[in-house]
């Protein structure tokens, strides 16, 4: 093999232990994504309509990622033939890593939508920022994919490095935009909501640090245990970036809902509970022209026929 060539991680023979570790990580990641999807599906009503796009984005992220992991598990089972105690890769083995990029090309932009949906950036500024974040995220994944799998079939060390540098430029730009959104949101959130939002940002940016490291491992190292490190690391990072991040964003959405209900700027029919602590009462919307004069507004004041709160 030429000095500047490299072997793709998914085409390295695996011992039984290495094979089982990768298989374990794929199945566990798939289960975690499914669990978060089901939990989120049944908790969409916990947040107000303003922040529901974040919940829907999280559903899309974990739904797509779960299907991706189902495909990865099936291809991993079919991609290696056990011969003389060693799992030898066959043609299907190429589909044990490449589908991750297809997953990320959809889910990473959706993570940006999820992140922005609970921020204080609204209106035209939100649309511009969303376009920027989604575009940068997609280009970061696409350029990494070209280096890892497309140019010279992902075996050129030179191409891996070149496209890795391009992808890293988009990666760095994403960091800048995300931190700006976080800072702009500080004054619009309560302390608890902002702390959770900050923690979600730190988690996402920290986990993202693994992906360029794994990409670099492919450039400089080979062997079954490096393949295990890359595959298991990707599975763990996907759980953290999609399930962990999604749980924190969901918490932010609930806290912001509770803040706005308590301030009287919105209504929400359900009480907002987080970790067995009630943050706001359930408040039904007042339908103007429907309620009679003996009904009360959500602050306890009477509502007259004109819709104005009367004296208690």
Is 1 domain-assigned? no
**Which pLDDT score, from 0 to 100, does residue 73 have?**
97
Range of the domain at 239: 9-263
CATH of the domain at 64: 1.20.1070.10
Structural domain contains residue 278: no
Q: Strands, E, within 73-219: which ranges?
A: 80-83, 86-89
3-class state of residue 241 by DSSP? helix
Whether 288 is in a domain gets the answer no
Compare 270 and 59 and report the one with higher pLDDT. 59
Task: Report the predicted TM-score, pTM, of the whole model to 2 decimal places.
Answer: 0.86
Residue 283 lies in a domain: no
pLDDT category, 284, cuts 50, 70, 90?
low
The per-residue pLDDT for 234 is 96
Report if residue 107 sits inside a domain: yes
Total structural domains within the chain: 1
CA dihedral sign, ordered 40, 45, 49, 51 = negative
From CA 57, how far away is CA 70, in angstroms rounded?
20
Residue 1 tokens, joined: 């093999």
How far, in Å, are 89, 157, 198, 267 from residue 221 at the CA level?
A: 18, 11, 35, 56
β partners of residue 280: 272
* Distance from C-alpha of 126 to C-alpha of 114, rounded to nearest angstrom: 12
Task: Please check whether residue 205 lies inside any domain of the structure.
Answer: yes
Asked if the structure places residue 76 within a domain, the reply is: yes
Q: In the predicted model, what is the mean pLDDT of the chain?
A: 87
Assess if residue 280 is contained within a domain: no
Name the helix (H) or strand (E) containing 150: none
Q: Are 308 and 297 in contact (CB under 8 A)?
A: no
pLDDT tens, position by position, 23-73: 999 999 999 999 999 999 998 888 988 999 999 999 999 999 999 999 999
173-220 pLDDT, tens per residue? 999 999 999 999 998 999 999 999 999 999 999 999 999 898 888 878
The phi and psi torsions of 296 (rounded to 5 degrees) equal -115, 150
Question: What is the spatial distance between Cα 24 and Cα 19, in angstroms, rounded to a whole number?
Answer: 9
Q: Tell me how far apart the alpha carbons of residues 31 and 29 are, in angstroms, rounded to a whole number.
A: 5
| Distance in angstroms (rounded) separating the CA atoms of residues 271 and 265 | 16
């Amino acid at each position: 093999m030429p000095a500047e060539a490299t072997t793709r991680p998914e085409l390295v023979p695996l011992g039984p232990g290495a094979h089982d570790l990768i298989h374990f990580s794929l199945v566990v990641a798939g289960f975690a994504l499914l669990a978060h999807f089901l939990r989120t599906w049944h908790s969409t009503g916990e947040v107000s309509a303003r922040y529901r796009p974040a919940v829907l984005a999280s559903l899309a992220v974990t739904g797509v990622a779960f299907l991706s992991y189902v495909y990865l598990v099936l291809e991993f089972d079919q991609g290696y033939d056990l011969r003389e105690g060693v799992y030898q890769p066959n043609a299907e083995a190429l589909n044990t890593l490449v589908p991750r990029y297809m997953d990320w090309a959809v889910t990473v932009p959706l993570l940006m939508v999820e992140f922005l949906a609970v921020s204080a950036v609204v209106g035209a500024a939100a649309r511009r920022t969303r376009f920027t974040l989604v575009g940068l995220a997609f280009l970061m994944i696409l350029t990494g994919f070209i280096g890892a799998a497309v140019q010279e079939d992902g075996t050129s060390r030179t191409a891996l490095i070149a496209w890795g540098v391009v992808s890293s430029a988009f990666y760095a730009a994403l960091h800048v935009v995300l931190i700006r959104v976080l800072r702009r949101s500080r004054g619009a959130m309560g302390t608890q909501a902002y702390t959770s939002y900050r923690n979600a940002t730190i988690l996402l940016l920290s986990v993202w640090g693994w992906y360029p490291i794994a990409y670099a491992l492919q450039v400089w190292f080979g062997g079954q245990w490096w393949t295990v490190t890359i595959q298991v690391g990707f599975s763990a990072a996907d759980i953290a970036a999609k399930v962990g991040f999604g749980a924190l964003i969901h918490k932010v959405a609930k806290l912001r809902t509770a803040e706005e209900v308590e301030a009287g700027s919105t209504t929400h029919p359900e009480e907002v509970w987080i970790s067995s602590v009630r943050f706001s009462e359930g408040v039904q919307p007042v339908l103007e022209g429907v309620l009679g004069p003996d009904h009360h507004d959500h602050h306890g004041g009477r509502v007259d026929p004109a819709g104005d709160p009367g004296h208690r």
